[in-house]
């Protein structure tokens, strides 16, 4: 006999896949209109709309949430395969210290500032780490150690996607105004725009060299995901007064270890040319499916209840990281 959990999982899969297919269809259609909207964001929005139109039974909704978290974490693991640490050091050596400073200062400052302006601690963490590291993947990865509610995760994903989309169009428009050469612009885009896909879209607008530099620099920022999560877990444990309260949340989540393991494999093994693009596509598909599940568990009213302050926090954080990395590019140079 089939267990009740398997039956529930079987009921949860069709809504997830349907939302993901619709998200990819919408993404493809928007691309034909030259509109670069992340399929991840579209999946979450479509999921939220579907949940409002066709409410799901509680057991199915719960199972969708469980499946989404698992799928997201496997997507994070597969992201690690995109990192070739030798390539990062050789191709974008200067990006290592610069992105470390930009990432660390953004997370610390806006985590602190968010709490000062009345944003919850968990939501402040998610906005700060999403801005500083790599958008949706960082937000989802940090949601467990930050003990964020689903609606906080959804809000953070929404505002970071919005800010990243604005930067996607704004930075290429500023390239000629600021007089940036291709390599300098690629460095700026890679070190300041949130999502990998957004960086690729923006950087290649400035030329082939800009696109290649931007991609490598962005992957250098992704490198800081695992250290940031470990530090975050340590800090939160200290703030909450010891290990007993956090017994159910491991210091180093398994998906962070998986991310590091895949990065190690990608560094020490000479992989066939098709492996990285294929795994990148698979990881992206995992994120789209999982964010559809996040959307299916949210309601617009829950998101709007947070007000405008987290949006302002995300906007300030995005402007901050764009300005400090631009100051480096224009004042020091990228090499």
**DSSP labels for 133-147?**
IITHHHHHHHHTTTT
Average pLDDT over all residues of the chain:
81
Dihedral angle computed from the Cα positions of residues 96, 97, 100 and 102, in that order, rounded to the nearest 10 degrees: -120
Tell me if 29 is assigned to some domain: no
CA angle 174, 177, 180 (to 5 degrees): 80
Cβ–Cβ < 8 Å for 46, 23 = yes
pLDDT classification of 125: cutoffs 50, 70, 90: very high
Tell me if 113 is assigned to some domain: yes
CA atoms within 13 A on the CB side of 117: 18
Domain count, the chain: 1
Cα→Cα distances 164→70, 73, 235, Å:
25, 22, 27
CA distance 19 to 38: 14
Q: Residue 334: pLDDT above 80?
A: no
Q: Which domain holds residue 95?
A: 14-22+40-48+57-331
Cα→Cα distances 245→95, 122, 139, 145, 240, Å:
38, 16, 22, 12, 7
Tell me if 322 is assigned to some domain: yes
CA distance 278 to 280: 5
Tell me if 166 is assigned to some domain: yes
pLDDT classification of 246: cutoffs 50, 70, 90: very low
Tell me if 301 is assigned to some domain: yes
Tell me if 197 is assigned to some domain: yes
CA distance 140 to 148: 9
Tell me if 171 is assigned to some domain: yes
pLDDT of residue 313: 94
Cβ–Cβ < 8 Å for 199, 189 = yes
Quick one: which of 200, 184, 197, 214 has its CA closest to 332? 184
pLDDT of residue 245: 46
CA distance 241 to 266: 38
Cβ–Cβ < 8 Å for 86, 116 = no
**For the residues 231-242, what does the mean pLDDT come to?**
76
Quick one: which of 35, 284, 324, 43 has its CA closest to 165? 35
Cβ–Cβ < 8 Å for 136, 287 = yes
CA atoms within 13 A on the CB side of 146: 26
State which of 133-147, 232-246, 250-264 shows the largest mean pLDDT: 133-147
Q: Residue 29: pLDDT above 90?
A: no
Tell me if 28 is assigned to some domain: no
Structure tokens, 225: 């995901």
Q: Residue 76: pLDDT above 60?
A: yes
Reported residue count of the chain is 335
**For the residues 305-324, what does the mean pLDDT come to?**
91
Tens digit of each residue's pLDDT (9 = 90 or more) over 185-205: 999 999 999 887 788 888 888
């Amino acid at each position: 006999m089939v267990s009740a959990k398997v039956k529930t999982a079987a009921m949860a899969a069709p809504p997830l896949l349907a939302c993901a297919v619709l998200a990819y269809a919408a993404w493809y259609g928007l691309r034909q209109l030259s509109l670069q909207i992340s399929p991840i964001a579209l999946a979450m929005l479509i999921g939220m709309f579907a949940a409002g139109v066709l409410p799901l039974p509680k057991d199915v909704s719960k199972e969708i949430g469980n499946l989404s978290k698992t799928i997201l974490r496997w997507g994070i693991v597969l992201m690690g395969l995109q990192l070739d640490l030798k390539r990062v050091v050789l191709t974008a050596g200067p990006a290592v210290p610069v992105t470390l400073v930009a990432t660390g200062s953004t997370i610390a400052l806006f985590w602190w500032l968010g709490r000062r302006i009345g944003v919850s601690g968990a939501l402040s963490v998610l906005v700060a780490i999403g801005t500083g590291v790599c958008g949706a993947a960082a937000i989802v990865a940090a949601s467990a150690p930050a003990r964020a509610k689903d609606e906080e995760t959804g809000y953070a994903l929404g505002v970071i996607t919005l800010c990243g989309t604005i930067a996607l169009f704004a930075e290429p428009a500023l390239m000629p105004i600021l007089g940036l050469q291709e390599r300098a612009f690629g460095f700026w885009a890679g070190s300041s725009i949130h999502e990998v896909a957004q960086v690729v879209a923006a950087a290649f607008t400035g030329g082939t060299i800009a696109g290649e530099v931007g991609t490598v620099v962005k992957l250098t920022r992704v490198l800081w995901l695992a250290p940031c999560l470990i530090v975050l877990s340590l800090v939160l444990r200290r703030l909450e007064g010891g290990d007993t309260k956090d017994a159910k949340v491991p210091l180093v989540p398994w998906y962070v270890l998986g991310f590091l393991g895949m990065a190690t494999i990608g560094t020490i093994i000479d992989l066939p040319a098709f492996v990285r693009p294929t795994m990148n596509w698979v990881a992206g598909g995992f994120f789209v499916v999982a964010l559809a599940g996040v959307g299916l568990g949210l309601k617009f009213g829950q998101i709007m209840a947070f007000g405008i302050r987290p949006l302002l926090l995300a906007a300030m954080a995005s402007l901050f990281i764009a300005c400090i990395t631009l100051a480096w590019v224009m004042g020091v140079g990228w090499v």
